[in-house]
Amino acid sequence: MFKLIPRENVSPVLSLLGPLFSVGLTMIVGGILFYFLGVDPFAAIKMIFWDPLMSETFSTYSIPQIFIKGAPLILIALGLSVGFKANVWNIGAEGQYIMGAIFGASFALSLYPLESIVIFPAMILIGVIGGCLWSMIPAFLKVKFQVNEILVSLMLVYVAEQILALASLGFLRNPDGAGFPGSRNLNQYTSASNAEIIAGTGIHLGVLLSLLLVIFFYVLLFRHSLGFKIKLLGNSPKASGFSGDNPNKLIFLCLTLSGSLAGLAGIMEVAGPAGQINIDFNVGYGFTAIIVAFLGRLNPIGIFFAGIVMALTYVGGELTQFMLNLPAAAIQVFQGMLLFFLLSFDLFVHYKIKLKGNK
């Protein structure tokens, strides 16, 4: 049948064009899908990619919303990309995101109604630690016992979801909430509220941090020796060992760094846009961020743009749903196609396909 042969010279132009190509192809195939669902494909694609940015009715609200929706995706994807470069696969960012939120919120709510300017920074720090601790479990098991980090990190997502339910119904439940699940609203607790920093837009500190960390990670990966070491570990673990690096240390670093960033995203979200710990607090950012990391070529600048494009498909996708009656699942298929086309494009960029002859 077919055989894949690695190409000796991978065209850098082609590999950069991959994301653009996959967005384009997703539009075309997605458009065909929309057509068969009885929706005008041109109107739908326009509404996803154009209206949130340009329509007079929506853009003033949607543009900041895209950054708000993109911020957790970018934060998480930045952390994941470091690990992915080193062939360390943290699939459980969703769980680390939840734990970051629970840790930070538990700390802040345990002090309620005390007001102090120390609470907010401490809450963020504890949120980061929460995410970090949760990622240390797969990191430790990987380093000590060579347990597959993909499985462990993924399974811990479901554990984190159970702890989230426990928190919403039990130890964080709002005592003034008439018995309903869910914590107090952190937005109504001044010292812990991740309030908007530009009035009327909803833009919060997490959005600002996501932009700053893009720059930080760019420097780290491309201007710092640690970035080189991480890439070396990914490309050739043996060479990494010969050069005197401790692979275990790097693996541990990669996992905990991504866990910490997921925790940061979690605490920013719970104290900001979400407002409270609730059973349905997590909406899949940790998984979508994997798409964002790859769509951004594991490059911080690329991740920024990929996060924005992904956020656009969410915000625009919602518009198509109630304006054009497109089912929610169609938008999810649309988002999934992005990754699918990107990965298949990569395959062809990196490999030649050869028909096995009848020898």
Which residues lie near another protein (CB under 8 A)?
Answer: 11, 14, 17, 20-21, 23-25, 27-28, 31, 40, 42-43, 45-47, 49-50, 57-58, 61-62, 65, 68-69, 165, 169-170, 173, 178-182, 185, 269, 273-276, 278-281, 283, 315, 318-319, 321-325, 327-329
Q: Which residue number, 142 or 184, has a Cβ lying nearer to another protein?
A: 184
Q: Which residue number, 61 or 222, has a Cβ lying nearer to another protein?
A: 61
In the complex, the smallest distance separating the C-beta of residue 118 from another protein, rounded to whole angstroms, is 26
Q: What is the DSSP string of 140-189?
A: HHHHHH---HHHHHHHHHHHHHHHHHHHHHTTT--TTSTT-SS---GGGS
Using a 10 angstrom Cβ sphere, with 0-12 exposed, 13-18 middle and 19 or more buried, the burial of residue 192 is buried
CA distance 349 to 18: 9
Q: Which residue number, 150 or 283, has a Cβ lying nearer to another protein?
A: 283
CA distance 50 to 42: 11
The Cα diameter of the chain in Å comes to 79
Supply 339's token pair. 């990754």
In the complex, the smallest distance separating the C-beta of residue 40 from another protein, rounded to whole angstroms, is 7
Q: Which residue number, 275 or 300, has a Cβ lying nearer to another protein?
A: 275
In the complex, the smallest distance separating the C-beta of residue 53 from another protein, rounded to whole angstroms, is 11
In the complex, the smallest distance separating the C-beta of residue 187 from another protein, rounded to whole angstroms, is 9
List beta partners, residue 352: 5
Chain length of the chain: 359
For residue 202, is it left (φ>0), alpha (ψ between -120 and 50) or beta? left
In the complex, the smallest distance separating the C-beta of residue 192 from another protein, rounded to whole angstroms, is 16
Q: Which residue number, 133 or 279, has a Cβ lying nearer to another protein?
A: 279
In the complex, the smallest distance separating the C-beta of residue 129 from another protein, rounded to whole angstroms, is 23
Q: Which residue number, 64 or 296, has a Cβ lying nearer to another protein?
A: 64
- Cβ atoms of 88 and 252 within 8 Å: the answer is no
Q: Which residue number, 87 or 325, has a Cβ lying nearer to another protein?
A: 325
The CB density around residue 215, as the number of other CB atoms within 10 Å, is 12
CA distance 180 to 280: 13
In the complex, the smallest distance separating the C-beta of residue 245 from another protein, rounded to whole angstroms, is 38
Supply 277's token pair. 């710990």
